[in-house]
Structure 1
Amino acid sequence: MSAGSSIRVWSYAKAGAARDVMQLERMPAPEPAAGEVLVDTKVSAVNPTDVKRRTTGRELGRFARIIPNNDGAGIIVAVGEGVSGERIGEHVWLFAAQAGRPHGTASSMLAISSTLAIELPKSASFADGACIGVPAATAWHGVLGDGAVAGKTVLVTGAGGRVGRYGVQIAKAAGAKVIALSRPAKSEELARLGASTTVDYTAPGLADRLQAAAPDGIDRVCDAALALTLEHGLPALNPRSVIAAYASDLNPAPVLPFGQMLYANIALKPFSIFALSDSQRAAALAGVSELLSAGKLRHHVGARFEFDQMVEAHEAVETGQVDGACLVGVR
């Protein structure tokens, strides 16, 4: 970057609705620090986590102003000390750009740790790269975070959502039998992604229907609906099974049936993708990248916006209008 150059960013300095707090502005172009790369952003993605961060303002106590959005894709145009110059010109997908720091992908350029800018295979577009990020890494850890699942039965709750769609594909690619928990309208799509059965979570008798769908029992749950799993799913789980839970939006304070879990040695492992250890995060990113390179991940784009429409993109995710990835072109 030349001296005095600037970039366009969307930012907010207080919590609230997108239209009330987000503004488009210019700021000096960043310089990559040691261990960082400078990325010319091509596509930014808006995920539910980005909306929650803005509406709650949960990181504004640490930063005066935040440039949102964790996921995206672009081209490395400069590198900091300790990063090989051979990376310049590399097409990359970005992970957790705004987690624990103020500068996300709602920006025409950003400096980010080299480890969080992962090379895109030549077969993948910038849109593909922007889709995966947090949803695919969450799904990978939810399915494979404790090792192989080949020959096992994996239940993916919230299977029709951003994370769930990847969870179904990752479990299928790993050799598992996949049970999807979703609305019936998504059963055909989920079958194409690899689910052997889709169970309707809205109909009565969920516990019985889960047992019927998995007569040999369920070994692992990639779980977006912990309260539902604890209330209805335990009879279908095998002894020593694992519930890897990353959300419980229907009830954020579920009742834990401790005795039932204790005597079956059912392990509950809540996790946040942003709080994984370095080795866990590296495994998830490498695993997602391998599947992307092998052409084993399909992406579901629900909406596309231009950079000047960032507010509308955030509003679309916040109001539940987008079924799939919400992508914003950056020009």
Structure 2
Amino acid sequence: MKAVFYQGAGGPDVLEVREVPPPEPQAGEVVVDVVAAGLNRADVQQRRGVYPPPPGASDIPGLEVSGRIAAVGEGVDGWQAGDEVCALLAGGGYAQQVAVPAGQLLPVPPGVSLAEAGSLPETAATVFSNLFMAAGVQAGESVLIHGGAGGIGTMAVQMVRAFGGIPMVTAGSQAKLDVVRPLGAQVLINYREEDFVEKVKEATGGRGADVILDVVGAKYLQRNLDALATAGRLVVIGLQGGAKAELNLGQLMAKRAAVIGTTLRARPVEEKSAIVRAVREHVWPLVASGDIKVQIGRTFPLEQASAAHEYFDSGDHTGKILLTMAG
């Protein structure tokens, strides 16, 4: 089968398509014939050499796919060859086939094409696990979402709105803000031209955001705390702006606030399976009803994975980027 590998760390030019043996399902796994694979920032960070795959995970990048089950391993119940599925992965998605723990499979939601479903598992699991399972977002609470026009951002805006929260977003251009406005974002902030702390305070009558979903990290840490409401929760899921920063603990304590740092990729299969079950129960009905819509920016064939990464690096994309398989 064809699969993408990184020839060391670097730019999009390090991506290489190779022929490798197809995977065999181990006990508790299925093998999926991949139709589409989502491109995520974690893939880019792995390419740059700063986010290696967890122990035991495939060196092939790709954290989510959609496709059809080709083979079922021992001990797998409820799935059979030919089922159309999408899946959350620890790696291996940029390939024509991938082995997946059965607990990390999801059915393709009604009304979503098989290819489009490749954009859903990682984004839905990341947003639901962080905002609702970890931060406990409640109806009526305000949620500031940094990078609101990307794959995670567009999913977060829709999910917060669907569960009765108030989505507020930052993005780097008016064009990107125009993408998230119709998805339900109620406060739109161009971070290149506006101070998000001031805009959040203004929009909340000086109170601040109840929850902040942050992909920036160190660069935004203190300003995020400034923007938090009393009893607010800051959830850090990315380090685009660095990993180390000082924090005013007195201010954190005075606000009775919480800083939560999480990753999804390295979690044990049991934890990922629990998240996938929660997504299937709480999020999939919203996708099926159209309350949450798939947001695809562009698609590229697997052989053009380097071009897909180049497009991602440009910062021009909105929504998800997909890699699709021939045939």
Q: Is the 8 A contact 2:176 2:318 kept in 1?
A: no
The reply to whether residue 196 of structure 1 matches residue 190 of structure 2 is: no
Q: Structure 1 residue aligned with 2:263, among 236, 249, 272?
A: 272
Q: Deviations over 1:92-120 (max 9, x none)?
A: 1121240xxxxx12211121111122111
Q: Give the aligned partner of residue 159 of structure 1.
A: 148
Alignment partner for residue 95 of structure 2, among 107, 122, 127? 107
2:86 is the counterpart of 1:93? yes
Q: Distance in 2 between matches of 1:208 and 1:138?
A: 28
Aligned to 1:326: 321
> What residue in structure 1 maps to residue 294 of structure 2?
299
CA RMSD of aligned residues (A): 2.6
Q: CA separation of 1:306/1:160 partners in 2, compared to 1, >3 Å: closer, same or farther?
A: same
Which of 165-174 and 82-91 deviates more? 82-91
* Contact map agreement 1:11 1:65 (CA 8 A) in 2: no
- Which residue, 191, 200, 206 being the options, matches 1:210? 200
The 1-side partners of 2:315 and 2:184 are apart by 25
Alignment partner, residue 131 of structure 2? 143
How many residues align? The count is 319
Change in 2 beyond 3 A, CA 1:111/1:65: closer
Deviations 1:116-163 (A, max 9, x none): 221112321123211123223222223212335112121212212221
Q: Equivalent residue for 2:32?
A: 39
How is 1:1-331 mapped onto 2 (pairs within 5 angstroms)? 7-12=1-6, 14-20=8-14, 22-56=15-49, 59=52, 66-84=59-77, 86-98=79-91, 104-146=92-134, 147-183=136-172, 184-215=174-205, 216-227=207-218, 229-276=220-267, 278-279=270-271, 281-282=275-276, 285-286=279-280, 287-331=282-326
Partner of 2:265, secondary structure, is helix
Query: Does structure 2 retain, via aligned residues, the 8 Å contact 1:241–1:267?
Result: yes
What's the offset of the Cα at 1:188?
3.2
Q: By how many angstroms is 1:175 displaced?
A: 0.6
Give CA deviations for 1:232-264 in whole Å, capped at 9, x if unaligned: 343442221111111241243232121101111
1:283-303: CA deviations, max 9, x gaps? 553344343233222233222
Displacement after TM superposition at 1:207 (Å): 2.6
Partner AA of 1:30 in structure 2: P
Q: Distance in 2 between matches of 1:291 and 1:61?
A: 31
Contact 1:143 1:222 in 2 (8 A): yes
Instruction: Give the distance between the partners of 1:189 and 1:11, measured in 2 at CA.
Output: 32
Distance 2:33 2:66 in 1: 8
Question: How far apart are the structure 2 equivalents of 1:57 and 1:157?
Answer: 21
Greater displacement, 150-159 / 249-258: 249-258
Q: Which moved more, 1:299-308 or 1:70-79?
A: 299-308
**Counterpart amino acid of 1:190?**
V
> Scaled by the length of structure 1, what TM-score is found?
0.86
Equivalent AA in structure 1 for residue 68 of structure 2: I
TM-score by length of 2: 0.87
Secondary structure of the residue aligned to 1:23 is strand
Give, in angstroms, the shift of residue 270 of structure 1.
1.0
Verify the 8 A CA contact 2:42 2:51 in the aligned structure 1.
no
Percent identity, aligned pairs only?
Answer: 27
Secondary structure at 2:131 match in 1: helix
Q: Is the 8 A contact 1:210 1:233 kept in 2?
A: no
The 8 Å contact of residues 225 and 234 in structure 2, kept in 1 or not, is answered as: no
State how far apart, in whole Å, the 1-side matches of 2:197 and 2:53 are.
42
SS of alignment partner, residue 203 of structure 1: coil
CA contact (8 A) 1:181 1:198 kept: yes
Output the CA distance in 1 between the equivalents of 2:220 and 2:45: 23
State the SS of the aligned residue for 1:274: coil
Distance 1:241 1:317, change over 3 A: same
Q: Which is worse superposed, 30-39 or 202-211?
A: 202-211
Structure 1's 268 and 86: CA in aligned 2 closer, same or farther, altered over 3 A? closer
